[in-house]
Each structure stands twice: as structure tokens, then as C-alpha cells.
Amino acid sequence: MNLISKISISILFFIPLIPHLNMVENFLHTDDLPIIIFACFAIYELLRKRKLSFEDNLKYLIIFIAYITIQNYIINRTFLSSDSLRFCFYLLLFVYIINFKIYINFESQIKYLLSFLTIFSITSYFFEFDFGRDIYQTWNIGFNESNLEYLKGRINGFQAGGPNSFADLITLLTIYILFKVDDKKAILIASTSFLAILFTYSRFSIIVLFLFVIYRIYISKYKKYIIYFVLLLLIVSYSFGLIERFLNDDNSGISDRVLMLTASIEYFLDLDLIDKIFGVGTNQLIFLSDEVFNVSDFNKNPYSYGPHNAYIFYLINYGFIGFSLLILFIFKFIKLKNSSESRKFVLICFLLLNFSTDLFFNHSVSWLFYLILFHFENKDNKTYTV
């Protein structure tokens, strides 16, 4: 394998391990460093290549970037925005993967990252490790003590987004590996990952992982033991208060999500026709329970207040045009029919998780989706052309 290609892709796996802290306020953050280093390596290698390959589907990503860049200029009078820069990174990532696909394999990196995050979650829970907060000042990295009697605390990772994003990341990594390893290893990995996600107490991630794990066991030679696996999970879940978390709407978590989703849909429906078509732009709104605020009118921490549904968030931010371009761009690349099960199920899982989170907007996690999306891996785990 080309050494530079191996290093370049490996660097990306440090993104969710670096806390989101300011380097240049509101412009450059610590978790941007792996992206900058990757970009330098990628551009260097691309410039050295005598003949570059380009896929026809690249135009859909370019059109989407052009749209969000022009929209941002019209609304904020600047071409630069965090979203346009992020999608420029994804554009570079795609071009790099297409040109060096024979050298790119990141299965080992996913295994190492999953192992580290699983151990971090479990040890942080039992030893109550607390590594402080990032610039969002919402969740501790590590243990977050709970004020609920049946719940000791919740674990958050190094990435931005809190325990739910941490759980989403572990879920995606786990599903990718489950369909790469043999049946015994799959059950072991599923068990440890479930325990790691349990300590985040992220309900939707747990449900999604549970469904994929059950399917993985069903297609294995151990499918007759599914009932025992389910019973074991129920016993562990009950022991650590997860069952009560599902039965109780603690801190109005579920009702708050419903209120946010309802308020965001109503807000979109009340927009004038121009805003419905073209969107209101990014970083304009705060969603808090059943209320929607302009950022300028909101005095609290504005970082963590999305509607917890990435699809309605994209509709509001970028309108029908931007949302349609995003969906078109993704489904032009997704190509599930010939995909390996690992690639196929991770992509489906990511799209499912976005119904309960703003994961598309959390680029400390969503980079993994685009990496796997662009890496066209067939059923024999070989890369292929779109």
C-alpha cells in the first residue's frame, strides 16, 4: 500500500479524538487539524499524479457546494462558511479516493478507533473520568453525573455533539466491523459496543445498533442463540437503569424532541415561498423546545440547539433546492446494490440516525459517512467504479 495514502487516510481517524477547542476563534478549531494535514498530503499526491481520474457524479457535489456558497454570500455577504469549507473537504476526499482507491483500506483504523472508544466509554463510566469541556460548554468529555436516581451518569466522547453523537459514532463503527469479521468476533464486538453505548444512554442509537446486531446474529451460525443474547442485554440494561430511561421521559427528553420537531416543521411551513425554496441560511436559528429564536435574540449558549432532525434542519437552512441537491448528491453516490454489507449498512444506519439527531451537521462524526460513501466497496470487499 502507498505509504502516503495510508498515512493520509489514517490521519482522518484522529478527528473524533480531538476536542473541539478554538485555535482561531469562530474560524479554526483543534479538530480541524487532521483535515488540514490530510489536505496537504492529498493535494501533494494529486499534483504528483500525471493523470487524474474524475467521476461524472462529481458534478452533483460541486453544484451543491456552489449553491450553499452563493446562498451564504447573499445572506451573510461572505463566501466562506463552515459548511462550504467542510464540503470542499469532502470534494477533495472524493477526488483523492477515486485516484488512489487501490491503495486505500481503512478497516484496521476503524477497528483501532472502535476499540479505543469502547474502552474509553466503559472505563470512564466505572472510574468517573472527567476531562473537562470543549468550547460548547455543555457536556464533559468522559463522565457526566446524572441527577436521576436510577442513572449514575452519561458518557460523552472527545467529539463535538455530546453523548448522543458519541453513541452514533460507536454505532457506525460497530456496524461496519460486524459485517467484516467472523461470527464469534462479531458477537464479542457487539456485546462490548452495546455496553459502551449503554453508558451514553442514547436511546435511538441503542435501538438502531440492537436491530443491526440482531440481524447480524440471525445470518450467523449462532442464530438459535438470539433469545439468550436478547435476555442478556435486557438483564444488563435493567442493571444499569437503561430500561427505566426508556420507560421514563427523564428531563422531558422525549417530549422535548417531539416539541422541537413540531416547532421546526411549523416554522418551515410558515416561511414565505422564497425562504421555502432557497432556505434561511446556516447559523441563523436556535431551536429550544417548542420555540425557534434568531441567533441574535438568543443569549444562552447557541451551539447545541438544533431541531434533532437533520432533514428538517437542511430544509430550513437550504430550502427545497439545497435539500434536493444534497439528497441527489448522496443517492448518486450511495449505490447500495453492489456494495459490501459493511458499506451498505453503515450508510443506511447513518441516514436512519439523522431522523433523531443533527448528525449531518456534526462534521466530527459525519466525515466517516462520506469516507465510506465515496469508498465504493463491493461484496468481495474490493473497490469498484461508480
φ, ψ (nearest 5 deg) of residue 222: -105, 20
Q: Residues 11-47, buried b or exposed e (16+ Cβ, 10 A)?
A: bbbbbbbbbbeeeeeeeebebbebbeebbebbeebee
Decide if 129 is inside a domain. Answer: yes
Decide if 243 is inside a domain. Answer: yes
Decide if 347 is inside a domain. Answer: no
Decide if 54 is inside a domain. Answer: no
311: three-class secondary structure by DSSP: helix
Range of the domain at 193: 108-248
Decide if 81 is inside a domain. Answer: no
Q: Which residues pair with 287 in a beta bridge?
A: 292
| Mean model confidence pLDDT for the chain | 87
Decide if 207 is inside a domain. Answer: yes
Average pLDDT over residues 36-63: 88
pTM score, whole prediction? 0.92
Per the listing, cell 429550544 goes with: 288
Reported as type and span, the H/E element at residue 292 is strand 291-294
Q: What is the pLDDT of residue 263?
A: 87
Are 322 and 67 in contact by the 8 Å Cβ rule? The answer is yes
Decide if 53 is inside a domain. Answer: no
Q: Greater confidence, 295 or 186?
A: 186
| Residue-wise pLDDT tens digits, 135-165 | 887 889 999 988 776 678 899 999 888 899 9
> Please, which pLDDT band fits residue 306 given cuts at 50, 70 and 90?
confident
How many structural domains are present in the chain? 1
| Residue-wise pLDDT tens digits, 326-383 | 999 898 888 777 788 999 999 999 999 999 888 888 888 999 999 999 988 766 655 5
Can you tell me the distance from the alpha carbon of 188 to that of 161, in angstroms, rounded to the nearest whole number? 27
Decide if 166 is inside a domain. Answer: yes
Are 264 and 312 in contact by the 8 Å Cβ rule? The answer is yes
CB neighbours of 286 closer than 8 A, spacing ≥ 6? 292, 293, 294, 295, 298, 302, 305
Average pLDDT over residues 235-252: 74
pLDDT for residue 5 is more than 80:
no
